Amino acid sequence: MKNRTFHAGKLLVIAFLLISVVFPLISLILNIQPKDVFKVISASQFWPMLFNSLLATGIATALSVGIAFGLAWCVNRTNIRYKQAFSILFTIPMLIPSISHGMGLVLLFGDNGLITNFLHINIGLYGYLGIIIGSILYSFPVAFLMLTDIFKYEDYTTYEAAQVLGLSKKQQFFTITLPNMKGALISVIFATFTMIFTDYGVPLVVGGKIMTLPVYMYREVIGLLDFSKGAIIGVILLIPAFIAFLVDLKNESGGNSSTVTRSFHIQKNKKRDIISYVICILTVFLVSLPILAFVILS
């Protein structure tokens, strides 16, 4: 009976992969006209669009993962209260479509936005700045969840040995924490990069004159009904996801099978906890601003 249930589960997984991944990918490739491949790549706007996408995505990914790392550290390496509440509030932006983040930024910081009119300061939202800010709001919750999971399963015995040897906190971070998280951190970076690189919602709303590949794909398919060119751009956008998949496979095959013998012991430090409270509360406030803008205007 157990074997039948196991085989049935495997068949369901295979069927799900075929329906959700393989068939759509085949359909995407079949829509490509060979003559359009050269047209897309040789077009004068293709390389500037690729540059725009890579530049905005690279900056947004670095900032998003950095912010997520800091928040995950505050939640898992300090003695602040309401950790679960903070974690939930940090992940709320993940439940909102990316285009809504762009609209929220327009309502707040656009040329006629609420904060722009109140402070009489125009930050120049439309362009790289808007794309980067919106992409961070959209992507950092996913990076935060992945990094939180990594922090939870760190073994404290290594840190105990380091303390006995007289290593400072800074030395422990660079010799223990980062090496332990190296493989997983690479996966987080690739996952965040893929999310931002393939997103069209934020650049569509706040990109201004900056055209990215996902926006170009959206224009070709939805606006001009050119499915062949859209499929070519779609395949290009899948490259980071494919690389991320290979990296995850390598990390799984090369990972160790060690278990956590002792959970992390957090020492008392009032100054650290106060700073963490400030960071967490400020982040919740900033993350909530686009949502509050919708509520106020509605």
135-175: pLDDT as tens digits: 999 899 999 999 998 888 777 777 778 778 777 778 878 88
Report whether 46 contacts 40 (CB < 8 A): yes
Q: Is the pLDDT of residue 12 over 50?
A: yes
Top CATH class, 34-297: mainly alpha
204-216: pLDDT as tens digits: 999 888 888 888 8
236-254: pLDDT as tens digits: 888 887 887 777 777 665 5
Please state, in angstroms and rounded to a whole number, the distance separating the CA atoms of residues 128 and 64: 15
Q: What mean pLDDT value characterizes the chain?
A: 82
pLDDT at 8: 58
Q: Where are the domains of the chain?
A: 1-30, 34-297
Q: Is the pLDDT of residue 59 over 90?
A: yes
Sequence-distant contacts of 289-293: CB under 8 A, at least 24 apart: 289/104, 289/108, 290/96, 290/100, 290/101, 290/103, 290/104, 290/105, 290/107, 290/108, 290/137, 291/92, 291/96, 291/104, 293/104, 293/107, 293/108, 293/114
Of the listed ranges 105-109, 283-287, 291-295, the one predicted with least confidence: 291-295
